[in-house]
Amino acid sequence: MKLVNLLVLILGLAALAFAVKYALQGTTGDPAGVSRPKRQLDNVRSRAKELEREQQQQADDIAKKATEEK
């Protein structure tokens, strides 16, 4: 009887491991899911660069006005 219980336990654990592997396999294999965070990060980076350029342009304009007033 002990051998049967051990065999059932091993088969149950194997089935559970297979189910977990199958469930998690779709989460990492989806190319759209992987590229979406990268695309979002790229958008944030490009917007940050754009804001930096705008701020630098404003600073340059203020510096130019200040030198013209003197």
pLDDT of residue 27: 62
pLDDT class of 69 with cuts at 50, 70, 90: confident
Calpha distance 28→22 (Å, rounded):
11
Return all residues near 17 (Cβ < 8 A) that are at least 6 apart. none
pLDDT of residue 38: 86
Task: For residue range 8-57, list pLDDT tens digits in order.
Answer: 999 999 999 998 888 887 665 555 555 788 889 999 999 999 999 999 99
Calpha distance 36→68 (Å, rounded):
48
What is the DSSP track for 13-40?
A: HHHHHHHHHHHHHHHHH-HHHHHHHHHH
